[in-house]
Amino acid sequence: MTAALVRTLGDFDLAEELVQEALLEAIEHWPKEGIPEKPGAWLLTTARRKALDQLRRQARYRDKLAQLEGAANLMRDDTAEGDDRLRLIFTCCHPALSREAQVALTLRAVAGLTTGEIARAFITSEATIAQRIVRAKRKIVDANIPYRVPAERDMADRLDEVLAVLYLMFNEGYLATGGDRASRRDLAEDAAWLAGLMVRLMPDEPEALGLLALMRLHLARADTRFDPAGNLVLLKDQDRGRWDQERIASAMVVLQRAANLRRSGPYQIQAAIAACHAEARTWAETDWRQIIALYDALIEISPSDVVELNRAIARRYVDGAAAALPEVDALAESLDNYYLFHATRAELLRDLGRESEARAAVRRALELTANPAERSLLEKRLA
């Protein structure tokens, strides 16, 4: 809805406002009158009516009023919706904007994440993210940045940012950083759908293929990640017989397509790590040495403290907690505000019999996560 209205109006703030008003009207009417047969069309019609009401009151929008009144095809099919959303993504990821602003604006305008959710993804303050979004919207208007998918020769300049947005969007859906839900499956599926559109748009870009494969491999396990009570089920305890083998197979085909292009990248390597887990018939059969080698390759081309942490976790299963703990402790300063650092450290300390230190690390991890399933798991460990 937002993408369709931005396409017509060219105004982010007005489009978001109209969508919110339409949703509020639905909340008011649908419980009494029933959900319409085509709820999306109902919402778009309502938003369009509200846009007309606003634009009629503003003489300076007469030209946009004519555009809107002539836009008889606002109720669009999935293909058109995908086109609109890709245009919106590429507009938000214009090189005239800083990378931080590109990603923040796209997560807000395309994925619909709140400012708080985006701030947690960036591990920064809400005020900082809000400023980035406002400045980015203003720059798009001031610089007259076009609302379109760029020419093929210009796509590569924006590819990294577009893929980064889809990756963060997927992560927020796969394991939510805020709210009362442990995950937002619809958001994760939406990110995978958009990644599929990117692959169709750029079929010879191996990193787009790698990201799609990574998402499909994770989604193949989605039904086993929580028990009926909503508690988190760790990878080693998941029922592998319930993993979606069809989705795993399709991901492996996509990953092989990427490998055939012989241009390795971080999303392809992460997908290869996920494939190691997907191919292991049992937890005991997991090829941890291969996973460590893949993390080494990932550190080589895309170094980060979180990747170092994940490598240390894998090393625990090869060389033991005593070997992994120093690698984790070396990240203490940079990852002190990252709950998984403290949760990982707690597990290693417990393996080594250092119970009081392990409990302190669990308490620190609890302070840093709002996800209900993660909190429940940590509280059980503390108890």
Give the Cα separation of 298 and 210 in Å (integer): 13
DSSP string, 98-160: -HHHHHHHHHHHTS---HHHHHHHHTS-HHHHHHHHHHHHHHHHHTT---SPPPHHHHHHHHH
Higher-confidence position of 301 and 1: 301
Q: Does the structure show a pLDDT above 60 at 9?
A: yes
The percent helix, strand, coil of the chain (3-state, each to 5) is: 75, 0, 25
In the structure, what pLDDT confidence band is assigned to residue 78 with cuts at 50, 70 and 90?
A: very low
- Token pair 């985006």 is found at 118
Output the pLDDT for position 63: 58
Output the pLDDT for position 182: 81
The predicted-structure confidence for 256-296, as pLDDT tens digits, reads as follows 999 999 999 999 999 999 999 999 999 999 999 999 999 99
- From 139, 377, 129, select the one nearest 235 (Cα to Cα): 377
DSSP 3-state assignment of 226? strand
Alpha carbon distance, N-terminus to C-terminus of the chain = 46
The residues near 187 (Cβ < 8 Å, ≥ 6 apart) are 111, 169, 170, 172, 173
Write down the domain spans for the chain.
1-76, 78-175
Determine the average pLDDT of the residues in 339-366: 95
In the structure, what pLDDT confidence band is assigned to residue 68 with cuts at 50, 70 and 90?
A: low
The predicted-structure confidence for 153-181, as pLDDT tens digits, reads as follows 777 778 888 898 899 889 888 887 766 67
Output the pLDDT for position 75: 44
Which tokens hold the place of 210? 């790698």
Q: Does the structure show a pLDDT above 80 at 92?
A: yes
The predicted-structure confidence for 200-241, as pLDDT tens digits, reads as follows 888 999 999 999 999 999 999 999 999 988 889 999 999 999
Output the pLDDT for position 77: 45
User: Contact 172/121 with Cβ under 8 angstroms?
Assistant: yes
User: Contact 166/195 with Cβ under 8 angstroms?
Assistant: yes
User: Contact 192/170 with Cβ under 8 angstroms?
Assistant: yes
Half-sphere exposure of 290 (CA within 13 A, CB side): 14
- Token pair 């971080």 is found at 266
Determine the average pLDDT of the residues in 74-96: 69
Report the percent of the chain where pLDDT is more than 70.
Answer: 91
Number of residues that this document lists for the chain: 383
Query: Which of 37-41, 174-178, 374-378 has the lowest average pLDDT?
Result: 174-178
Output the pLDDT for position 60: 54
Output the pLDDT for position 261: 95
Nearest 5 degrees, angle CA 131-CA 88-CA 121? 45
Output the pLDDT for position 12: 78
Q: Does the structure show a pLDDT above 80 at 79?
A: no
Output the pLDDT for position 96: 84
Q: Which amino acid appears at position 347 of this protein?
A: E
The one-character DSSP state at 324 is H
